Structure 1
Amino acid sequence: MLDQHGLSSAPPPTDSLFWRLWQPCIPIAEKTLNTPFMSGIKSASLDPVTYGGFNVSDAYYCFNGAQSYLAAESRTSDEVLKFFLLEKYKRYQAYNEAFPTIWHIRDANGVVPTTACRDYAQFESDTASHADPIYTLIMMIPCEYLWYWLANQLMPPSPGNLYAPWITGNNSASGAYAMGNFLDQYQKEHPGAIDEDKAMSIYSTAMNFEWKNFLSATQP
């Protein structure tokens, strides 16, 4: 996909929209890193039941996230953006296929998500259904890049850490960087198409939902 459209998974240019969105949100990332959930992942002290509950709730987000990508894909006429959104939908679908086997969850209907997870999924659905489709991609970058950033802060996992697969499995920024490089290309090809204030609002809202989602994992 990247070769076909001249995209790269290397870090986006330092002056790109990708970094202009990320830099102001670093304090949110740091708050997320300091949640009890992430501290428990780092120290391997997180209750496995809590970890399991988080993943079950996250399944609700992932099942709905796939549909958000598909909704946005159906609303754009830009061939590259359409292809990009469809590929992201397919990757979510492939990921979601593991839930029935690992967690015995068929779809979102049987999940009782945390309030933060439910509201996050609704925000994504509303954005994908009503905003210009390019903002769906912007909205999804926090999910892609924050998880990498968190994992990278925890590297290397301590020997015997039960949660080492979570840390090593999320320690890749290639997907997020590809999205950032696509945004850079999109802005060059469509000058003025992205309202950066609106992009910042959507991005920071998604970042805050990520923090609230991790925070809610250890709350009653």
Structure 2
Amino acid sequence: MDTRATHTVNDPKTKLSARLWESTKGIRDMAINTDFVQGIKNGKLDPEKFGVFCVEDSIYLYKQQHNIKVATEKAKPYPDQYTYLHKRIDSYKTLYEAEFKKWHVGKPEGISLGKDLKEYMDYEEDVALNRQSIYFLVALIPCLKLWPWLGQQIKDGNHGIYNDWAKANLDPDYVGFKTVDALIDEADEKGGIQEDEAMKIYTKCMEGEYKFFNSI
């Protein structure tokens, strides 16, 4: 048992973003040990499974861009949240269009998704549609923060043919999530977020990330 992590979660002096992160340590540890992540680490992942993952991930980016549009409209009363989300609309569009081109995805509606990813995407869509924008940011950050963290854990491996993909997608030096952490902490300091609700959403989305990795 990681007593340091438990102390962090229970310490009211710790920022909310850190408490959310530390509360999901067990889920992150499971993500490290999935066949997909370990296969990327040692360069031995079945190429067919890698392809399936990437095609599904391209659909995730496509759907997430729509969710970001919805959340951006809701964020208009909160300038910092609005600015961040509005910038992400174009960046996610660039990402999914590049992946669609790479994997020859013509009509995303024609791609059959696995159960785990579909449930995860449906949940994030529900948060975007039915919660305030700050809670969508809470739903967004497990993905933003987990992937570079995984990159840090496996950076000493021999990724083989997956080396370029790992550098681009599991970049251990990526720190873009810090902006979202700061928005969550700012909302907490102003009384604009309920920790119990944030914890539920954050945990659910971190589980979604793990289950997506584990589905391959």
TM-score range, shorter chain: 0.7 to 0.9
Could you tell me which residue of structure 1 aligns to residue 96 of structure 2? 96
Corresponding residue for residue 178 of structure 1: 179
Q: Secondary structure at the match of 1:74?
A: helix
Partner of 2:214: 215
- Per the alignment, residue 129 of structure 1 pairs with 129
Aligned to 1:120: 120
Structure 1 SS opposite 2:192: coil
- Deviation of residue 18 (structure 1)? 1.5
* SS at 1:113 equivalent: coil
**Equivalent residue runs for 1:71-220 within 5 Å:** 71-76=70-75, 77-158=77-158, 161-169=160-168, 170-171=170-171, 172-188=173-189, 191-217=190-216
- Identical-residue share of aligned pairs (%): 29
Aligned residues: 201
For 1:186 and 1:173, locate their aligned partners in 2 and report how far apart those are by CA, in whole Å.
23
Give the CA deviation at 1:148.
0.8
Q: Distance in 2 between matches of 1:37 and 1:57?
A: 14
Q: Aligned equivalents of 1:204 and 1:106: distance in 2?
A: 33
SS in 2 for 1:80: helix
2:59 and 2:108 in contact (8 A); partners too: yes
C-alpha displacement of 1:60: 1.7
SS state of the match for residue 97, structure 1?
Answer: helix
What is the CA distance between 1:20 and its match in structure 2?
A: 0.6
> How far off is 1:79 after superposition?
1.9
- Report the Cα offset of residue 107 of structure 1: 4.6
SS of structure 2 residue aligned to 1:142: helix
Q: How does 1:17-36 map to 2 (within 5 A)?
A: 17-36=16-35
Look up the match of 1:63: 62
Q: Which stretches in structure 2 are left out of the alignment for 5+ residues?
A: 1-12
CA distance 1:152–1:107, change in 2 (3 Å): farther
- Shift, 1:78, TM fit: 1.3
Match of 2:36 in 1: 37
2: CA distance, partners of 1:114 / 1:55: 12
Q: Normalized per residue, which structure has more helix? A: 2
**Amino acid of the structure 2 residue aligned with 1:28:** I
State the distance in 1 between where 2:101 and 2:150 align.
26
**Equivalent residues of 1:135, 1:199 under 8 A apart:** yes
SS in 2 for 1:174: coil
CA deviation string 1:36-73 (max 9, x = no partner): 11111111110111100111111221111011111011
Detail structure 1 runs of 4+ shifted over 6 Å in the superposition.
Answer: none
Aligned-residue CA RMSD in angstroms? 1.5
- TM-score, normalising length: structure 1: 0.86
Corresponding residue of 1:7: none
Instruction: Report if aligned partners of 2:56, 2:113 keep a CA contact under 8 Å in 1.
Output: yes
